[in-house]
Chain A
Amino acid sequence: MITLTHCLVVSACIFCIGLYAVLAKRNAIMVLVGIELMINAAILNFVAFGKYDESNYGGQIFALFAIVLAAAAVAVGLAIILNVYRKNKTINLDDITDLRD
């Protein structure tokens, strides 16, 4: 049977993969994908812990809410990337250092 531990391990694995993508990938799109993965890891945790709230299904509800938020965040993220691309003609994050001091 799939226990809570299995879910958390999978969630942690997905989070770490996402984190790796966010920190290591050069392509902004891939970073965005990494963020999605991390959000999804978090959502998985919501759902997994949702079993402790059987009456209100708070975990599942919050998961749905988070998916919507993630979609909105990706839309905003993609728009930013697009603008960055227009400005810099690249989406390689190593080349974009405008936030530097």
Chain B
Amino acid sequence: MDFLTNISPISCSLLVVLLPFLAFLYQAIVGRKARSGNVSLVAISLSAILSIYLFWNQSPIESNIEWFRIGDKRFFLGILLNNTTLLMQALVSIVALPVHIYSKAYMKGDSGIHRYWMYLSLFCFAMLGLVVSSNLLQLYIFWELVGFASYLLIGFWFTKESAAQANKKAFIINRIGDLGFLIGLAIVYAQFGTFNIVELFAVNGLAENWFSQVNSLSGTWLTVAGCAFFLGAMAKSAQFPLHVWLPDAMEGPTSVSSLIHAATMVAAGVFLLATVFPLLNETVLLIIAIIGTTTALLAAFFALTQNDIKKILAFSTISQLGFMVVGIGIGAWDAALFHLTTHAFFKCLLFLAAGAVIHEMAHFKHETNLDFDPQDINFMGGLKNYMPKTALLMGIASLALAGFPLTSGFLSKDALVISTFEWAVAKGGLYYAFPIILIAVSLMTSFYIGRLILKTFFGDFAFAKNLKAAKIHEASKTMIYPMAFLALFCLFIVFSWNPISYHLSWVLKEFNLTYTFEEIHSLHILIPVILTVGSLLMWWIGYQLYIQKKQQVKQNALFRFSFNQGYLNEFYAKTIIKPTLLLANFSYWFDRTIIDGLVDLLSKITVALSNLFAWVDKYIVDGIVNAFGSIAYGTGNLLRWVQNGRLQSYLGFAFTMVLLGLIYLIVI
């Protein structure tokens, strides 16, 4: 490892980014023959090792090369290494590594697996490139690349209609966000003339001094720029009302979902907000907090009644992203990033475990020839007896998600909820709604994840009598080990020595952010207690409802609202998709009838004219020429019979001619 200490952090980080790209190129070139995915696996492993080697608390370094020049404006490509980017880089590669290993078992035997490895490497490359970009333009390019790679992965089983629809939906909704990002970029460039992240967003950088610019744009533009950037983050990080793509993105392979939901893709939005944070003014921050709270609340509410195991987790992700966005909104972007980090690990683990369960259920379905949805938790139950390790690992992740003490989620979620409370206290009035909603959401989180665990792993197996025909096995070791690895990161010990106080966590310590509001010590005890007791209570209710079956769940309007995901998809179908289709149909009609009609008319006129000219050409011009020809031919034909070979007629002609000549001479 001696040579490693000699290479600069920049080239090291460059390697981290480029290795998955090389793997992508290799998979793309070799194609069908590269089915093992070993190249991608090695690449991401090396990336993970290098990023861990680089990890944490170096002095910020930046390196740029000029990319191109327009007039005297210079554009750069570069790498920026500071605590934020290092954290994200390590997070992405460390989460991606177990997903790669897991995929080897999960995707085994899929006919398109060579494509899978290719897309996965591209996805990792795009995300790693995004987090270390030193300027916003480069970040934007990788941002688009992440969107594109996710499009490919969600639609991995593109022969399935729903998958094709889902990736289209994800892509289109992300385009809306991309537009926002682009507008933000334009405003920032118009104002500051640079894309460099350090120059713009460093402490006391350009963004903080918007009005001290020469020829400064008005303050409205500052708000617009903030909203534009937030729009981009909303689409990527699945914030209400642009979250609808994320539950549908479940159509991709589960390993992909876990990656999308954990470290890549959805993390990009929060990361972007944390990066451009100094640009966001009071108004924008308030909007962000409102949207984040709404998202957290609605998504958690929708998650309560879903039956698809992956859908529950998807809404859970949206809800947790809402927490992070609230964190940004209140100015505690370090807490948001902290929650992003802890969430990445436990959500990834949840998905991988869910994938293992689905894998077994699908297998069971295949063996017994029963007809049921292998992702529906109503058909599961009692699986802890058959897959104890998976159950244990998923249980740990669920505790982390619910924010139970001793887990990482406890630290980060408390950091967010307590900070929000303190912020609300500082603001007073209606602002108290935010922390109260967040606490309610936390309890709902405990309930839906408890419901998932209880329905999946406890109680009785729905097809217990079919167990003779086929067994349900524990997931294979290739799947268990990565999950165990992730479970390690769900524990408090990785992030802080002290399981109670998030302030001692190294993540928050090193960001060393000063909040705009005061710390309230009593809350640091009160809120964790409320949350923990509440969670326990929720689990007890869940146990009564789903295992003891003391009471039937009533399917009232609220239930249906939640079950149908707030009718948002239907709403969009009615308000946006239908008019769009109508417009498209009208445009189609307009194009067909008016535009094409005009063109057709023109062409018809042209054809008629051409026919006229053809007639003139055929009968007049050619006629004249042919007439000459005919005359020549007729004359020739007439004179032809003179040459009949009879000497006597020759003589007779000769004589006649002489006679005629004579008569001519005589007469004239």
* Chains A and B form a bound pair: yes
A residues bordering B, Cβ < 8 Å? 19, 22-24, 31, 93-94, 96-101
Whether B655 lies near A19 (C-beta < 8 A) is yes
In the assembled complex, the CB of A12 is this many whole angstroms from the nearest CB of chain B, namely 13
Whether A100 lies near B651 (C-beta < 8 A) is no
User: Which single member of B640, B643, B648, B655 contacts A93 (CB below 8 Å)?
Assistant: B648
In the assembled complex, the CB of B650 is this many whole angstroms from the nearest CB of chain A, namely 8
In the assembled complex, the CB of A48 is this many whole angstroms from the nearest CB of chain B, namely 20
Tell me the complex Cα distance, A23–B653, Å: 10
Whether A99 lies near B645 (C-beta < 8 A) is yes
Using CB atoms, name the residue of chain A closest to B643: A101
Using CB atoms, name the residue of chain A closest to B650: A99
Whether B648 lies near A22 (C-beta < 8 A) is yes
How many residue pairs, one in A and one in B, have C-beta atoms under 8 Å apart? Answer: 32
> Residues of B contacting A99 with CB < 8 Å?
643, 645-647, 650
Q: A23-B652, A23-B655 are in contact. Are A93 and B647 (CB under 8 A)?
A: yes
Using CB atoms, name the residue of chain B closest to A99: B645
In the assembled complex, the CB of B461 is this many whole angstroms from the nearest CB of chain A, namely 109
In the assembled complex, the CB of B642 is this many whole angstroms from the nearest CB of chain A, namely 9
Q: Determine whether B644 belongs to the interface, using a CB cutoff of 8 Å to chain A.
A: yes
User: Which single member of B643, B645, B648 contacts A23 (CB below 8 Å)?
Assistant: B648
Whether B645 lies near A96 (C-beta < 8 A) is yes
Using CB atoms, name the residue of chain B closest to A31: B648
Nearest 3 CB-CB pairings of A with B: A100-B645, A97-B645, A101-B643
> Residues of B contacting A101 with CB < 8 Å?
640, 643, 645
In the complex, chain B residues 632-662 whose Cβ is within 8 Å of any chain A Cβ: 640, 643-648, 650-652, 655
Tell me the complex Cα distance, A96–B645, Å: 7
Tell me the complex Cα distance, A100–B650, Å: 10
Whether B643 lies near A100 (C-beta < 8 A) is yes
> Residues of A contacting B652 with CB < 8 Å?
23
Using CB atoms, name the residue of chain B closest to A24: B648
Tell me the complex Cα distance, A19–B646, Å: 16
Using CB atoms, name the residue of chain B closest to A97: B645
> Residues of B contacting A31 with CB < 8 Å?
647-648
In the assembled complex, the CB of B633 is this many whole angstroms from the nearest CB of chain A, namely 15
In the assembled complex, the CB of A83 is this many whole angstroms from the nearest CB of chain B, namely 15
Tell me the complex Cα distance, A27–B650, Å: 16
Q: Taking each of A23, A24, A96, A98, which has the highest tally of chain B beta carbons within 10 Å of its own beta carbon?
A: A23
> Residues of B contacting A93 with CB < 8 Å?
646-648
User: Which single member of B640, B646, B655 contacts A94 (CB below 8 Å)?
Assistant: B646
> Residues of A contacting B651 with CB < 8 Å?
22-23
> Residues of B contacting A24 with CB < 8 Å?
648
Whether B644 lies near A97 (C-beta < 8 A) is yes
> Residues of B contacting A23 with CB < 8 Å?
648, 651-652, 655
In the complex, chain B residues 486-524 whose Cβ is within 8 Å of any chain A Cβ: none
In the complex, chain B residues 603-652 whose Cβ is within 8 Å of any chain A Cβ: 640, 643-648, 650-652
Whether A98 lies near B645 (C-beta < 8 A) is yes
Q: Taking each of B645, B648, B650, which has the highest tally of chain A beta carbons within 10 Å of its own beta carbon?
A: B648
Whether B646 lies near A97 (C-beta < 8 A) is yes
- Further pairs besides A96-B646, A101-B643: 6, Cβ < 8 Å: A23-B652, A31-B648, A97-B646, A99-B643, A99-B645, A101-B640
Tell me the complex Cα distance, A48–B249, Å: 132
Tell me the complex Cα distance, A97–B651, Å: 14
Could you list some 24 contacts between A and B, CB below 8 A?
A: A19-B655, A22-B648, A22-B651, A23-B651, A23-B652, A23-B655, A31-B647, A93-B646, A93-B647, A94-B646, A96-B646, A96-B647, A97-B645, A97-B646, A98-B645, A99-B643, A99-B645, A99-B646, A99-B647, A99-B650, A100-B643, A100-B644, A100-B645, A101-B640
Tell me the complex Cα distance, A94–B648, Å: 9
> Residues of A contacting B655 with CB < 8 Å?
19, 23
In the assembled complex, the CB of B384 is this many whole angstroms from the nearest CB of chain A, namely 113
Tell me the complex Cα distance, A71–B652, Å: 24
In the assembled complex, the CB of B435 is this many whole angstroms from the nearest CB of chain A, namely 119
In the assembled complex, the CB of A28 is this many whole angstroms from the nearest CB of chain B, namely 9
Tell me the complex Cα distance, A34–B655, Å: 14
> Residues of B contacting A96 with CB < 8 Å?
645-647
Tell me the complex Cα distance, A96–B647, Å: 9
Using CB atoms, name the residue of chain A closest to B642: A101
Tell me the complex Cα distance, A50–B513, Å: 153
Tell me the complex Cα distance, A93–B647, Å: 8
> Residues of B contacting A22 with CB < 8 Å?
648, 651
> Residues of A contacting B650 with CB < 8 Å?
99
In the complex, chain B residues 371-404 whose Cβ is within 8 Å of any chain A Cβ: none
> Residues of A contacting B647 with CB < 8 Å?
31, 93, 96, 99
> Residues of B contacting A97 with CB < 8 Å?
644-646
In the assembled complex, the CB of A88 is this many whole angstroms from the nearest CB of chain B, namely 12
Tell me the complex Cα distance, A93–B648, Å: 8
Using CB atoms, name the residue of chain B closest to A19: B655
In the assembled complex, the CB of B523 is this many whole angstroms from the nearest CB of chain A, namely 125
In the assembled complex, the CB of B229 is this many whole angstroms from the nearest CB of chain A, namely 97
> Residues of A contacting B646 with CB < 8 Å?
93-94, 96-97, 99
